[in-house]
Amino acid sequence: MQLYNKLSAKEREALLEEAGEDRLTISFYQYAKIGNPELFRNHLFVAWDQLDVLGRIYVAHEGINAQLSVPAKKFNDFKEFLDGIYFLKDIRLNIAIEQDLKSFLKLKVKVRSKILADGLNDKSFDVTKKGEHVNAEKFNELISDPNTILVDMRNHYESEIGHFQGAITPDVDTFRDSLDIIEEDLQEHKEDKNLVMYCTGGIRCEKASAYYKHKGFKNVFQLEGGIIEYTRQVKEKELENKFIGKNFVFDHRRAERISDDVIAQCHQCGKSCDVHVNCANEACHLLFIQCKECAAKMDNCCSDNCKEINALPYEEQKALRKGKKNSNKIFKKGRSEVLKFKQ
């Protein structure tokens, strides 16, 4: 029984290109009590591997958080499998606005202590007492109300390329960083204002809304299904779109364009641009915004030093990387000192 990937990303990419079949990028989450996450993880991997599902899935005692790429022709089989799991029956699936054959290149199902790294002690408050879920229409009404405070629960590199008009966008690197900052900044409005939150697909707001209610906020709302579902409803119901720019996503696409507005700048020259890339130097791999002109000038690298390293023969690059860790650079996500315009 196969429980892990046997193909590399490059091998999988070649197979996807050869097949040329339509695929759907989908995300969903569900908080539920899972007694044996490892057993559940293996069950998912075996079933989804047979359906040619690819993606990144986290399983924990508290539930599941999934981002997937499913062959379009096998969607009904995929849905039938989910419906066979009692806590996933009729689960809302966030289907991407923009599709890509290669949004994911491997099937990774991992057991984690939590499905979302929130840094919270769940035993200290009732996670089931969440804020009120609102659809796109209600959300638009709420954020038009002067008595509403709208908060983006995502990180700085996400909101930088797109956000709702008038939203507070905390300058944070992680979700856990934003929780206390937002509470402190909004202390005086716990009882007299509507606290409305949104994120990519809804999972961050699910926990944050319960946390803020525990902290004394009286009127807490969250956008159901996040930006992804909001965009779908706006198109389907012909509502006014109040999101400007791109929605950052955590797969190979990196973002979906929601409006034609470009609200960010190239981190190297300052030109209007909202295209995230990873530095071509594998020892760096920094995520940052780069325009076409800078990409050509810098050979897709973030700095002159990385450009020089990337020009070396592969074996020399590999030798330079030996024994070194680059995780700190990777997770800086646009904050590196080498990005002159960002400074």
Residues noted as catalytic: 199
C-alpha span between 276 and 182 (Å, rounded): 26
State both tokens at 220: 């807490």
* Cβ atoms of 69 and 25 closer than 8 Å: yes
Strand order in the sheet with 132-134: 132-134, 219-223, 194-198, 148-152
C-alpha span between 343 and 339 (Å, rounded): 7
Alpha carbons within 13 angstroms on the beta-carbon side of residue 101 total 12
Distances (CA, A) of 229 to 5, 76, 116, 243: 31, 20, 19, 12
C-alpha span between 330 and 343 (Å, rounded): 17
Nearest CA to 177 among 202, 210, 155, 203?
A: 155
Cβ-count burial 298-331 (b if 16+ within 10 Å, e if not): bebbbbeebbebbeeeeeeeeeeeeeeeeeebee
Q: What is the DSSP letter of 111?
A: E
Helix/strand number for the chain, H first, E second: 12, 14
